[in-house]
Amino acid sequence: MGQFAVFGGILAGVTTLAGAQTTTDATASTDTLSERGVAHPELWPKYHYPVVTPMDEERHVEDLLARMTLEEKIGQLVQADICCATPDDIRKYHIGSILVGGSDGPNGNDFAPAPEWLKTADAYYLASVDKRDGGVGIPVIWGIDAVHGNSNIIGATIFPHNIGLGAARNPELIEKIGAATAQEIRVTGQEWTFAPTVTVPQDYRWGRAYEGYSSDPKLVASYVGAMVRGLQGPPGQRDLLARDKVIASTKHFLADGGTKNGVDQGDADISEQELRDIHGLPYGPAIENGVATVMTSFSSWQGVKMAGNKSLVTGVLKGQMDFGGFVVTDWNAHGQIKGCTNDSCPKALEDGIDMYMAPNTWKPIYEDLLKRAKAGEIPMSRIDDAVLRILRVKSRLGVFTAGKPSSRPLSGKWDILGSPAHRAIAREAVRESLVLLKNQGVLPLKPGGRLLVAGEGTDDIARQSGGWTISWQGTGLDNSMFPGATSLWTGLKHAVEAGGGTAQLSPDGSFTQRPDAAIVVFGEKPYAEFQGDRATLALDADLTGPYKTMAELKAQGIPVVAVMITGRPLYVNQALNAADAFVVAWLPGSEGEGLADVLIGDAQGHARYDFKGKLPTAWPKTPSMADGALYPYGYGLNYESPPQAWKPLPEVKTAITNDNHVWFTAGQPASSWSLLVNDGNGTANETRITTVPATALGGRVTISATDYKVQEGARRFSVSNGLVAVALRNFNAIDLRRETNAKVMLLLTARVWQAPESAEISSVGTGGTGAIQIPLDATDHFVRYGIPLECLAQKGADIQALTEPFVLTTTGKTDFAIGEIRLGTDAEKVLPCK
């Protein structure tokens, strides 16, 4: 409380958003005058929220409020994940909203077929309006991350991720995408999408940068209104469920893209002016277009977590900016507020959030709020205001009169999911998002000849779709899970064959008949949220295999076109040098033909479509953006561009991986980690393994190299007898609370020649150790074991300060190799938590 600093006229003349500058001009520092993390709402631009609740509807919601018990009111403030709350829970606790996390789905099945989603929607809805135990029966609403199409659902149209749309510079297209996405959501019965992401990333090492349209706030702002209108309809429109609309959510408020070093959920230690002029800008058009909800960020501003920042949520967003919808938190983000836990956080409500996203913590949150409300610790006026905001949004949506999900327009119309009309929009978006960085007269390709298509991810729809696609991280999928979709390869093949030529798919670039030209695809693999954070802007060296293919083809005089699949601009000078033409495809999604539309010309060799994409952010010159841009924001060639001389770019060696979730790979621990062998009794008898062959524990262990993925990519441990521990130790204790909260696992890839008598994996922290048995049976191949972090935490590991997060202890004679140790979700064998 009392967080509002009052400034009268002292600060008159400080730049406000009108005529916004995007530069970081720190001259007008208001912050020195105040506490850190406290905003000055009066300095922010004013907007007008155009949504008015008609008198009769307002009377209706106020009447409901008057009849609701305290239990019912508190229930409305809580959102539960379907993973962890049954329809009966929704009925009993009057829960206001459900969500499905990226790795959840109906009946515990992330890959559940579309009809099951609709059936599930009915079950929860019917439970919510069941008045068996009395009460008013407020219908529940279901939120989903439909962030690039209704992207959790098998068969949906998958649009390019936002960074690609940013390249397209086409707000009308954005509105069409919003409208198509809304329709596809309605087919499976949800009412609410956690989109659009209106982040303005300033550091592309951030693993969520691709979820944002651009690093330029003006470009982002130019899209937001269009996307909100596409999803919700024009701002004055009501009764969305009687139409083909859903409610939207702009996220993540505020400055999720402004954190230091691009660390996910980190701290934006920036001035209030930057906060306002860069990160705040897109909220203007969102509010002017009547966005129904805003999601707060996991991150903090000047050390204060957003969900607990009253000056920003209540003062700026709801006050000065006039936002009239409701504010929802992010996934257990309330637990990160100072003084809060996942199970208890009245402060978030007091500071202005209206709904808690409490996926698996809904019950303790509900009980805690109820207890405190009864004790008079939370002002009733704040509770009523939050409930009213939620009820008004529900009323605008039309959920009070819409009936059960399956009875509404579009529900169950399976042919709308991935319909040809929607795929055509996505294909257009792919065409318009492609950015041409180099063309030495090779493109467009003539379709009549022989085309070789090589590289990685060429025929892999999951790879070209990125994270937040069917599964949370976009991993664990194959082409069969994308019915109706087209890979880049298939699109190219069709176009070439239609023009009378032939195409050959050859990932390693080998061929029997000499091709006339080659396309080599390469780039990033899917990731989401913090798992995509990187230490530098270099493409991980273990993804650069196709560079060699490019060089070999070129050495044979075959023209090479490089196509990069990526969520961000990266240092890839070797590929830029090696190829004759270079195209950035971003994360195009399910309609791979869009690439062929632009790359493959007509029979006369003329382009069928020209390049339109312009870089939505600058391209780095080196692995560090601090060294400046190779290509500036807005760069992009087309078929009209005059020919350019190519000056070879400097090439530097880059790390095998920049992913700080990979601790051991290619035979080496990552930087700041050590690989150690000891007897499990402290460091006295310890050997640090740097080179091989090596021995440890007086000859009881021999360490050698063996192949995994790459030559000598694993370390083999041959143990003659006794107790042996192989450990990874970090220089600094690491905090894995966030990963643990998201069901991430410790992944050990190992091969066993001789099984030990017993083996266990432990995680050592400053405040405690957790251990779990691992059955290391002999196999003739490497196996990726998954140890849930949740389990290690349950067993006592101090998850927020781990010094040796990985220790493998064996007893007896044994012989095994370790290929990789990292965090992730893609285990082959998940160890039971016994």
Which residue number has the CB closest to ligand BGC? 101
Q: How far is the CB of 702 from ligand BGC (least distance, A)?
A: 40
Query: Judged by CB, which is closer to ligand BGC: 553, or 793?
Result: 793
Task: Determine contact, residues 290/228, Cβ cutoff 8 Å.
Answer: yes
449 by DSSP, 3-state: which? coil
Query: Judged by CB, which is closer to ligand BGC: 331, or 582?
Result: 331
Q: Alpha carbon of 40 to those of 250, 304, 645: distances in Å?
A: 22, 15, 52
Q: What is the pattern of x (binds ligand BGC, CB under 6 A) and - over residues 103-142?
A: xx--------------------------------------
| Residues facing residue 717 across a β-bridge | 703, 816
Query: Judged by CB, which is closer to ligand BGC: 101, or 196?
Result: 101
Binders in 138-177 for ligand BGC, by CB under 6 A: 145
Stretch that binds ligand BGC, among 101-109, 185-193, 452-460, 542-550 (CB under 6 A): 101-109
Instruction: List b or e across 249-284, with b for residues whose CB sees 16 or more CB atoms inside 10 angstroms.
Output: bbbbbbbbbbbeebbbbbbbbbbbbbbbbbbbbbbb
2 by DSSP, 3-state: which? coil
433 by DSSP, 3-state: which? helix
Stretch that binds ligand BGC, among 63-71, 94-102, 182-190, 218-226 (CB under 6 A): 94-102
Q: How far is the CB of 111 from ligand BGC (least distance, A)?
A: 13
Q: How far is CA 331 from the centre of its chain?
A: 13
Instruction: List b or e across 450-486, with b for residues whose CB sees 16 or more CB atoms inside 10 angstroms.
Output: bbbbbbbbbbbbbbbbbbbbbbbbbbbbeeebbeebb
Torsion of CA 470, 474, 475, 477, to 10 degrees: 40
Query: Can you tell me which of 93, 194, 489, 717 binds ligand BGC, judged by CB under 6 A?
Result: 194
The Cα 530–Cα 358 span in angstroms is 19
Q: What is the pattern of x (binds ligand BGC, CB under 6 A) and - over residues 330-359?
A: xx----------------------------
Q: How far is the CB of 671 from ligand BGC (least distance, A)?
A: 26
Query: Judged by CB, which is closer to ligand BGC: 358, or 714?
Result: 358
Q: Catalytic amino acids?
A: 330, 529
Query: Judged by CB, which is closer to ligand BGC: 293, or 762?
Result: 293
Stretch that binds ligand BGC, among 95-103, 314-322, 344-352, 723-731 (CB under 6 A): 95-103
Q: What is the pattern of x (binds ligand BGC, CB under 6 A) and - over residues 294-333?
A: ------------------------------------xx--
Nearest CA to 590 out of 477, 499, 501, 504 is that of: 477
Asked if 102 interacts with ligand BGC (CB under 6 A), we say: yes
Q: How far is the CB of 366 from ligand BGC (least distance, A)?
A: 19
Query: Judged by CB, which is closer to ligand BGC: 125, or 298?
Result: 298
Task: Determine contact, residues 314/41, Cβ cutoff 8 Å.
Answer: no
Q: Alpha carbon of 213 to those of 162, 168, 249, 536, 619: distances in Å?
A: 5, 10, 15, 21, 15
What DSSP line would sit under 740-807, residue for residue?
A: HHTT-EEEEEEEEEE--SEEEEEEEETTEEEEEE------SS-EEEEEEHHHHHHTT--TTSEEEEEE
Nearest CA to 103 out of 313, 316, 360 is that of: 360
Q: How far is the CB of 529 from ligand BGC (least distance, A)?
A: 6
CA terminus-to-terminus distance, the chain: 46
Q: How far is the CB of 472 from ligand BGC (least distance, A)?
A: 5
Stretch that binds ligand BGC, among 100-108, 165-173, 182-190, 775-783 (CB under 6 A): 100-108
Query: Can you tell me which of 548, 743, 795, 813 binds ligand BGC, judged by CB under 6 A?
Result: 743
Number of residues engaging ligand BGC in binding (CB under 6 A):
14
Query: Judged by CB, which is closer to ligand BGC: 145, or 591?
Result: 145
Query: Judged by CB, which is closer to ligand BGC: 268, or 378?
Result: 268
Binders in 461-490 for ligand BGC, by CB under 6 A: 472
Q: How far is the CB of 772 from ligand BGC (least distance, A)?
A: 19
Stretch that binds ligand BGC, among 70-78, 98-106, 162-170, 199-207 (CB under 6 A): 98-106
The Cα 772–Cα 670 span in angstroms is 24
Q: Which residues contact 260 (CB under 8 A, 6 or more apart)?
A: 266, 267, 268, 269
Crossing angle of helices 217-232 and 171-188, in 10° steps, is: 40
- The residue length of the chain stands at 834
Q: How far is the CB of 468 from ligand BGC (least distance, A)?
A: 8
Q: How far is the CB of 367 from ligand BGC (least distance, A)?
A: 22
User: Which one-letter DSSP state was computed for residue 144?
Assistant: E
Radius of gyration of the chain (CA): 27
255 by DSSP, 3-state: which? coil
The Cα 264–Cα 741 span in angstroms is 14
Binders in 249-268 for ligand BGC, by CB under 6 A: 251
Binders in 501-560 for ligand BGC, by CB under 6 A: 529
Query: Judged by CB, which is closer to ligand BGC: 607, or 791?
Result: 791
Query: Judged by CB, which is closer to ligand BGC: 84, or 692?
Result: 84
The Cα 426–Cα 424 span in angstroms is 5
Q: How far is the CB of 490 from ligand BGC (least distance, A)?
A: 30
Residues that bind ligand BGC (CB under 6 A): 99, 101-104, 145, 194, 251, 330-331, 472, 529, 742-743
